[in-house]
Amino acid sequence: METATHLLRTGQRGALFQLQMALRDLSNSVQRIGLSWSLAWHDVGARYRGSILGPFWITLSMGLMVLGIGFLYANLFHIAIDVFLPYVALGIVFFGVMTGTINDGCETFVQAAGMLSQTSLPLFTFVWRTVFRNLINLAHHLLIVVVVLAVFGYWRHIHPLLALVGIVLMLLNASWLSMLAGIVSARFRDIPQIVMSIMQFAMFMTPVFWLPDRFGSHSAVLNFNPFYHLLQAVRAPLLGQAVDLHSYVVLVAMAGLGWLGTFALFARTRRRIVHYL
């Protein structure tokens, strides 16, 4: 425990001061990152208490979906199963994590209302909680990825370093989207429904269940869809394929601009968020 908490707070000292306070919130949350982990583990434990498989239930249902869609679409579209099934498996798992992080983001601050109204815990602590909770879920679903890649022999062709880069880029982007959803949802209670609809729409517009080659890889449907690049950066290296350079450009730019915008919004609304709740 800290030996001394020093608080110095004022409301109206201009934008620079608000930015400084927002940065302090961020750095405090990093110093107490263990708390975010504890809360995330508690969430996972709480949700699946008393169930035998725990989070593996979702893994199981994802696995069934992978098998179903894998075999069905492979037949419908006349694609070889050893090409299509791993492709769909990775798509469902990683798109699922993005959707989960962003949808859960809507609840980040609303759920923490009790704690926020009587402690000085950093707001970022709860953003990380949401992200970590989804990471823990991902760790369970990786079972599907491992099995599929092993069964179809893709493990020999994996580019591990690029896959890691892809996952980091995906998390960087999903986390600012999650936080943005959290701030806006705290203020406007219609937002969670809108976010959910958008994510569902995005799932069908993004090549999760279908191969992008029908469009040609530079089609607008793909290129103007950020989720395509996000998914591609993780999936392609795991399948031993190359990722277009412009996908990386898009993702880095998106992460940079996204975090900049979200952080600016956070700096503006930080001291108000507790009143929204």
Partner 1 sequence: MTPVSITCTDLTLRFPVYGVDAKSLKKALARVTVGGVLGRHAGVTDVTALQGVNLSLKAGDRLGLIGHNGSGKTTLLRALSGAYEPDEGTIEVYGRIAALLDLGLGIDASATGYENIRLRGRIAGLSSREIEEKMDEIAAFTGLGPFLAMPVKTYSAGMQARLAFAAATAVEADVLLMDEWIAVGDAEFQKLAHKRLLKLVERAGILVLASHEAPLLRLYCNKVMRLDGGVASEVVDIRRLDELLDV
- Contacting residues toward partner 1, per CB under 8 A: 1-12, 32, 34-35, 38-39, 42, 45-46, 49, 114-121, 187-191, 194, 271-272, 274-276
Record the tokens describing residue 188, joined without a space.
């406007």
* CB 212, min distance to partner 1, A: 34
Measured from the CB atom, the residue of 32 and 159 that comes closer to partner 1 is: 32
CA atoms of 123 and 180, how far apart (whole Å): 12
Q: Is 159 exposed, middle or buried (0-12, 13-18, 19+ CB in 10 A)?
A: middle
Place of tokens 């199981």: 60
* CB 39, min distance to partner 1, A: 8
Radius of gyration of the chain measured on its C-alpha atoms: 20
Measured from the CB atom, the residue of 112 and 238 that comes closer to partner 1 is: 112
Record the tokens describing residue 218, joined without a space.
């530079």
* CB 194, min distance to partner 1, A: 8
Measured from the CB atom, the residue of 43 and 104 that comes closer to partner 1 is: 43
* CB 196, min distance to partner 1, A: 14
Residue 186 CB partners (closer than 8 Å, separation 6+): 109, 110, 273, 276, 277
Measured from the CB atom, the residue of 130 and 225 that comes closer to partner 1 is: 130
∠ Cα 242 147 78 (to 5°): 65
Measured from the CB atom, the residue of 1 and 76 that comes closer to partner 1 is: 1
* CB 10, min distance to partner 1, A: 5
